[in-house]
Amino acid sequence: MISLRLKVDPLPIDEPLVVRLQGPGSPARSDHDAVLAEIAPDRREYDLNGFSFGVYGISSEVIDGDVLMMLPGETTAHRLIRAGSAHNTLLVTEQCDQLCVMCSQPPKKYHTDLFEQFTLAASLAPQGAMIGVSGGEPLLHKERLFSMLEDVNAQRPDIGFHILTNAQHFSRADLERLQRLDYERVLWGVPLYSSMPETHDQLVGKPGAFASLEQGLSILMRAGASLELRTVVMQQNWQDLPALADYVSTRLSFLTVWAIMQLERIGYARMNWKETFRDTSGDFEQIARAVDIATARGLKAALYNFPLCSVPPAYQDFAPSTISDWKRKYLDFCLNCRAKETCGGFFQWYSQAEGFAFLGPL
Ligand code: SF4
């Protein structure tokens, strides 16, 4: 598993520090660049404006260009941006106003505000990077979030963001700011689990969520924003998928993509796995109908987090590799599969004992 934390020397700092690691061949471009000064077997020493610190247990080639955040008193650094990866996500808050039965990141009560550090990290990312923003619910800190997007855009218009939000905290007052964001560089990923308000509200643990979400989506539509609608397949919404396809294709036809997603077995999803996970490897019928309805009406549908061999051949083109590199694994039988290059495999925390019944190399 790729590590998102690195052991470092403790630094004499009072505030979080964000630095970009640079090889000796790449001259420092800003005060935030630390340049590789010395290589020992298990330690890389970097120079940051005259003081040095060590990074342990990883080769300098692997971390060249990475952006780290070090916190006072800590001996591990957060690898906020991995220069060689397309899967970088900033967890901007752990607070949330929903309690979804399938939540992979259960919410916490308190918020540590690191938007300033995240803004700097994003502005140090490689050219053209697309950075994920998730939570918790990022829009609980809407002003800070908008400021981050605007500040990064002012310095680095090449950087894009993919923001996961329940979209319930937009108001008409946000229209102007939303319209100013580059719709080609900002994609809003918004969950909708059912066309029936009561089912959606029950799944997200919040009465009135569906109604607030409809309002939020209408604001995104009026702003001309890019929308990735996200529906996790569960036992609870299985029967409703065709009706949801009908709702999505008639009411939300402005969307960029409708992502139908498999469950990630962690957090509340792991706790509620038996009542929630739907094995789609043996019965794909409702998903097939939903995809057919959406595509027949000109919408782009996609299947996220599905092992390719769990999907009938006619729908495999809808299933790109979507599981982030740092949390992806393959099983023993994948070794002989000719589709391994294009298949996204499984989450690290997937358990075959409780998972798909019908899988095997293609
Ligand atoms: S056998 Fe493994 S690599 Fe091949 S399609 Fe299935 S999950 Fe993917």
- DSSP per-residue codes, 140-197: GGHHHHHHHHHHHHHH-TT-EEEEE----S--GGGHHHHHHS-TTTEEEEEE---SSH
User: In the numeric block, which tokens belong to residue 133?
Assistant: 């923003």
Stretch 270-294: mean pLDDT: 97
The confidence score (pLDDT) of residue 161 equals 98
Query: Rounded to the nearest whole angstrom, what is the distance from the C-alpha of residue 361 to the centroid of ligand 1?
Result: 5
User: In the numeric block, which tokens belong to residue 130?
Assistant: 């697309």
Query: Rounded to the nearest whole angstrom, what is the distance from the C-alpha of residue 282 to the centroid of ligand 1?
Result: 15
Percent of the chain with pLDDT strictly greater than 70? 99
For the CA of 338, the nearest atom of ligand 1? 4
Q: Is the pLDDT of residue 39 over 70?
A: yes
The confidence score (pLDDT) of residue 351 equals 96
For the CA of 361, the nearest atom of ligand 1? 1
Report the nearest-CA residue for atom 3 of ligand 1.
340
Query: Rounded to the nearest whole angstrom, what is the distance from the C-alpha of residue 309 to the centroid of ligand 1?
Result: 5
Which ranges in the chain belong to alpha helices (H)?
60-63, 115-123, 142-155, 175-180, 197-204, 209-223, 241-251, 268-271, 273-276, 285-296
Buried b (16+ CB within 10 A) or exposed e, 152-189: bbeebeebbbbbbbbbbbbeeebbebbeebebebbbbb
How far apart, in whole angstroms, are the C-alpha atoms of residue 130 and residue 279? 32
For the CA of 307, the nearest atom of ligand 1? 7
Q: Is the pLDDT of residue 135 over 70?
A: yes
Q: Which of 280, 334, 342 to mutate to test the pocket of ligand 1 (most atoms within 8 A of CB)?
A: 334
Stretch 105-115: mean pLDDT: 94
For the CA of 359, the nearest atom of ligand 1? 6
Q: pLDDT tens, 160-199?
A: 999 999 999 999 999 999 999 999 999 999 999 999 999 9
Query: Which is higher by pLDDT, 30 or 252?
Result: 252
Query: Rounded to the nearest whole angstrom, what is the distance from the C-alpha of residue 332 to the centroid of ligand 1?
Result: 10
Query: Rounded to the nearest whole angstrom, what is the distance from the C-alpha of residue 227 to the centroid of ligand 1?
Result: 29
For ligand 1, which residues put their CB under 6 angstroms from it?
A: 307-309, 330, 333-334, 337, 339-340, 343, 345, 359-362
Query: Rounded to the nearest whole angstrom, what is the distance from the C-alpha of residue 283 to the centroid of ligand 1?
Result: 18
Interstrand relation of 88-91 and 130-134 (parallel, antiparallel or unpaired): parallel
How far apart, in whole angstroms, are the C-alpha atoms of residue 322 and residue 302? 10
The confidence score (pLDDT) of residue 28 equals 64
For the CA of 330, the nearest atom of ligand 1? 2
| Mean pLDDT taken over the chain | 95
Query: Rounded to the nearest whole angstrom, what is the distance from the C-alpha of residue 278 to the centroid of ligand 1?
Result: 18
How far apart, in whole angstroms, are the C-alpha atoms of residue 356 and residue 50? 55
Reported pTM: 0.95
Confidence grade of residue 33 (pLDDT, cut at 50, 70, 90): very high
How far apart, in whole angstroms, are the C-alpha atoms of residue 138 and residue 132? 11
Stretch 111-130: mean pLDDT: 97
User: In the numeric block, which tokens belong to residue 253?
Assistant: 């036809």
Report the nearest-CA residue for atom 2 of ligand 1.
334
Q: pLDDT tens, 58-68?
A: 887 789 999 99
Stretch 212-227: mean pLDDT: 97
The confidence score (pLDDT) of residue 128 equals 97
Report the nearest-CA residue for atom 6 of ligand 1.
309
Q: Of 65, 90, 66, 68, which Cα lies nearest the Cα of 77? A: 68
For the CA of 334, the nearest atom of ligand 1? 2
How far apart, in whole angstroms, are the C-alpha atoms of residue 285 and residue 63? 44
> Do residues 18 and 121 touch, judged by C-beta distance below 8 A?
yes
Query: Rounded to the nearest whole angstrom, what is the distance from the C-alpha of residue 106 to the centroid of ligand 1?
Result: 29
Q: Is the pLDDT of residue 34 over 80?
A: yes
Query: Rounded to the nearest whole angstrom, what is the distance from the C-alpha of residue 339 to the centroid of ligand 1?
Result: 6
Q: Is the pLDDT of residue 22 over 70?
A: yes
Stretch 256-272: mean pLDDT: 97
How far apart, in whole angstroms, are the C-alpha atoms of residue 149 and residue 225? 14
For the CA of 333, the nearest atom of ligand 1? 1
Hey, what long-range contacts does 248-255 have (CB within 8 A, 24 or more apart)?
A: 248/192, 248/195, 248/294, 248/299, 249/293, 249/294, 249/297, 249/298, 249/299, 250/297, 252/217, 252/221, 252/227, 253/297, 253/298, 253/299, 254/221, 254/227, 255/227, 255/228, 255/229, 255/299
Q: pLDDT tens, 302-330?
A: 999 999 999 999 999 999 999 999 899 99
Q: Of 102, 138, 104, which Cα lies nearest the Cα of 232? A: 102
Q: Which of 337, 346, 348 to mutate to test the pocket of ligand 1 (most atoms within 8 A of CB)?
A: 337
The confidence score (pLDDT) of residue 26 equals 76
Interstrand relation of 257-261 and 226-232 (parallel, antiparallel or unpaired): parallel
DSSP-assigned beta bridge partners for residue 39: 44
Stretch 257-280: mean pLDDT: 97
How far apart, in whole angstroms, are the C-alpha atoms of residue 259 and residue 233? 10
- Helix H or strand E segment including 138: none
Strand order in the sheet with 301-304: 88-91, 130-134, 160-164, 186-191, 226-232, 257-261, 301-304
DSSP-assigned beta bridge partners for residue 56: 7, 43
Query: Rounded to the nearest whole angstrom, what is the distance from the C-alpha of residue 342 to the centroid of ligand 1?
Result: 9
